[in-house]
Amino acid sequence: MKRLSWFNATSLAFGFAFLYIPMLILVIYSFNSSKLVTVWAGFSTKWYVELAGNEAFLEAAWVTIKVAVISSTLATVLGTMAAYAMVRGGRFFGRTLFSGMVYAPLVMPEVITGLSLLLLFIGIGMDRGVMTIVLAHTILTMCYVSVVVSSRLVSFDRSLEEAALDLGCTPFDAFRSVTLPIIAPAVIAGWLLAFTLSLDDLVIASFVSGPSSTTLPIKIFSSVRLGVSPEINALSTIMIGIVTIGVIVASLVTKRSVAMRAKQERDAE
C-alpha cells in the first residue's frame, strides 16, 4: 500500500470531516441525557427508549418501510424489464427515445416530479395515501435499477440464452432459469438501492402523501420545524444506520459478483 503525501492526506481528512462531522454530531447528541440538544449532559440511551414508545413515529416508520419494500420491489421488476428491453431489443423503433425517457427521472428535479405526480393524482381523482407514495417512489427508483441491471446485461454472454433456447426452453423459461440467476447480484443491488432511495425521500413523498400516510422523513421534517428534540436525533441515527447497512450490502454484493466474474473469465482463458 502506497503512503499518501501530506497534501493528499490533509485533503482527505478535510473531505471526510466536511462530509461526516455533521452526522457524527447528530449521532453523539442522540446519546445525550439532556433535553437541550446543544448542551452535553452525559451519556444516556433514554431517547431511544422514549422513541420506542412514540406512537406517531412508529406509525410513520411502519408506513415508510411498507412503501420502501413495495415500491423497490415494483421498481426492480419494471427496471429489470426496461433494462432487458433496451439491451436485448436490438434497434427497435423508438429505442433511443425510450432509453432517454427511462433515465430522465435521474436528472429531473424532484420538485417537478413530485408536483406533476400530485397534479396527476388529483386529476384522476386518486386519494393520496400509501398507494400514491408507492407509485411515486416506483417511478423515481425504477431508473436506478435499470441503470444497474443494464450495465450487467451488456457484459452478459448472449450465447448462454441461445444455449438455453437450444436445449428446449421457451424465451421466458430461458430468462427465468438462466439469465435471472446470473444477473441476480445486479438485481439485488438495484433493489437495495431503490429501497434506500425510497426510505429517505422527502420531497416527492411530501407532495403525494395524504394525512393518513406520513412517512418518517416527512414526520422528522415537520417535527424539526417545532424545534429539534433529542428524540429526532435518535431516530435519525437509526435511519443513518439502516441506510448505511443497505448501501454497504449493495456494494458488497456488486463487488463480490464482479470479482466472481473476473475469476471465471480468468479461469476460462
Partner 1 sequence: MTDNLEFTPWADPSQKPLIRFENVTKKFGDFTAIDNLTLDIYEKEFFALLGPSGCGKTTLMRLLGGFEQVTSGTITIAGQDMANIPPNKRAVNMMFQSYALFPHLTVAANIAFGLKRDDLSAADIDARVDEMLTLVQLKQYAKRKPHQLSGGQRQRVALARSLAKAPKLLLLDEPLGALDKKLRTETQFELMDIQEKTGTTFVIVTHDQEEAMTVASRVAVMNHGVMIQVDTPDRIYENPSSSYVADFIGDVNLINGTARVVDGVVTMSWAEGQPKLSAKSALDFAADAACILAIRPEKVNISSTKPGSAHNVVRGKILDIAYLGNISTYHVQIADGTIIKAQSANNRRLARRPFTWEDKVYLSWTDTAGVVLAE
Residues in the site for partner 1, rule: CB under 8 A?
157, 159-160, 162-170, 173, 177-178, 181-182, 263-264, 267-268
CB of 182 to partner 1, least distance (A): 6
Which residue's CB is nearer to partner 1, number 38 or number 264? 264
Phi/psi of residue 157, nearest 5 degrees: -70, 110
Rounded CA separation 149/170 (Å): 22
Which residue's CB is nearer to partner 1, number 25 or number 160? 160
SS3 43: strand
Rounded CA separation 263/181 (Å): 18
CB of 94 to partner 1, least distance (A): 20
CB of 188 to partner 1, least distance (A): 14
CB of 26 to partner 1, least distance (A): 43
Phi/psi of residue 123, nearest 5 degrees: -60, -45
Residue 251 CB contacts under 8 Å (≥ 6 apart), including other chains? 189
Which residue's CB is nearer to partner 1, number 127 or number 162? 162
Which residue's CB is nearer to partner 1, number 103 or number 175? 175
Which residue's CB is nearer to partner 1, number 87 or number 117? 87
SS3 32: strand
CB of 217 to partner 1, least distance (A): 38
Rounded CA separation 220/217 (Å): 5
Residue 23 CB contacts under 8 Å (≥ 6 apart), including other chains? 240
Please list the helix, strand and coil fractions of the chain in percent, rounded to the nearest 5, in that order: 80, 0, 20
Q: Three cell numbers at 204?
A: 416527492
CB of 162 to partner 1, least distance (A): 6
Rounded CA separation 147/193 (Å): 11
CB of 165 to partner 1, least distance (A): 4
Which residue's CB is nearer to partner 1, number 47 or number 84? 84
Rounded CA separation 192/73 (Å): 9
Which residue's CB is nearer to partner 1, number 5 or number 264? 264
